[in-house]
Structure 1
Amino acid sequence: MGHITALISSYLPVVIALLCLIAAWFLGDWRNWKTYYPTILFAICVDFLISLLSYNFSLWEFHKSAVTPNHTIADFMIAFTNLPCIVMVYLHKYPLKSRPLRQVVYIAIWSAVFTCIEGLFLLIKMLTYHNNWNFWWSIAVWVFMFIGLRLHFTRPLWAWLLCLVGVVFLILYFHIPIAKMK
């Protein structure tokens, strides 16, 4: 049984990527993909910005799997596979014209789903936290991300400002040693 669990966990990043691709295929608005493209690029840029800032000072680390030999490759797979699919479905189904409470619930559901996926990666030890990062911070990041995606879709400059504030907070709160970067 342990061998089967190890095999499943080793291919979990591929399973998640495939589920994201399938969801985007069936639930995404492919006729209007250009509408979502700027926000997809925003999500990828923010992911890379955080990866760059924490490259030598990891807050979290993805571990080797059957298809991702290291953290960087895992992050690239997430950035170029999962994030575009997530953005496409999330924004297409977002209840833009609904009451604020329904929008809050929508953001909470998406945040909870991806928090659970992260929890699964933690449980099977394919993800670890470092430098005072913990699961609560990850929950906050998921909420922050889904709010930021929605904001970028309608008010991109405000989303970049929110991103800048978030990055400055991470640098100051977690004492990311940016002075030691190349």
Structure 2
Amino acid sequence: MQEWSYVMGHVTALIASYLPIIIALLCLIAAWLLGDWRNWRTYYPTILFAICVDFFISLLMYNYSLWKFHQSAVTPNHTIADFLIAFTNLPCIVLVYLSKYPFKSHLWKQIVYAAIWSAIFTGIEGLFLLIKMLTYHNNWNFWWSIAVWVFMFIGLRLHFTKPLWAWLLCFAGAAFLILYFHIPISKMK
């Protein structure tokens, strides 16, 4: 019995170490199977928006992290993990999310759709927290992350139809982060 626990512990550690690439591969597979590839150019501006916002937030928090990705077998540091997310996961997420978005449905169905996506990625983040591949800093917590996922999926939908409003929402969100979490922008390079 003790041997079985030892083996399972090593298997779990191995899976955890490769989790960033497993998530990236699952995103790629989902995009391949569910994405609207015929109209990918339609989604391209929103894909770029998601990448830009990710990099903007990363730059803003470079010396004052609110969260940090830790080393894994495929991501040696936070920056590489963030690049993997920005260039693999986010384009796939945007493509599938917008391809399947119920634009012509009632508002209630759209809210449920965005909530389901927010819950899925909140769950994935929770898994990363559980296996200690992600930590929070400077008063950030899981509740703030839930808000960010909701904010992200609302922002993607908004950018797709009203990009200037989405940018305004993004900059308002960044200003809130700076003020609420006391991000020392005066000490940036």
Q: Does the pair score TM above 0.5? A: yes
Residue 165, structure 1, aligned to residue 165, structure 2: no
Deviations 1:44-88 (A, max 9, x none): 000000000001000000000000000000000000000000000
The amino acid that maps onto 2:155 is G
The amino acid that maps onto 2:142 is F
CA RMSD of aligned residues (A): 0.4
* Equivalent in the alignment of 2:143: 136
Counterpart-to-counterpart distance in 1, 2:90 and 2:139:
25
5+ residue gaps, structure 2, are 1-7
Cα distance, 1:93 vs structure 2: 0.2
5+ residue gaps, structure 1, are none
Cα distance, 1:5 vs structure 2: 1.2
* Equivalent in the alignment of 1:8: 15
* Equivalent in the alignment of 1:110: 117
Q: Report 1:83-94 matches (<5 A).
A: 83-94=90-101
The amino acid that maps onto 1:52 is L
Counterpart-to-counterpart distance in 1, 2:69 and 2:169:
26
Q: Report 1:17-28 matches (<5 A).
A: 17-28=24-35
What SS class does the counterpart of residue 128 from structure 1 fall into? strand
Runs (4+) of structure 1 exceeding 4 A deviation are none
The amino acid that maps onto 2:101 is Y
Counterpart-to-counterpart distance in 2, 1:179 and 1:41:
28
Counterpart-to-counterpart distance in 2, 1:38 and 1:10:
33
Counterpart-to-counterpart distance in 1, 2:183 and 2:103:
36
Deviations 1:14-56 (A, max 9, x none): 1100000000000000010000000000000000000000010
Q: Report 1:1-182 matches (<5 A).
A: 1-182=8-189
- Structure of higher CA gyration radius: 2
Counterpart-to-counterpart distance in 2, 1:5 and 1:110:
26
User: How many percent identity over aligned positions?
Assistant: 84
Cα distance, 1:148 vs structure 2: 0.1
**TM-score normalised to the size of structure 1?**
0.99
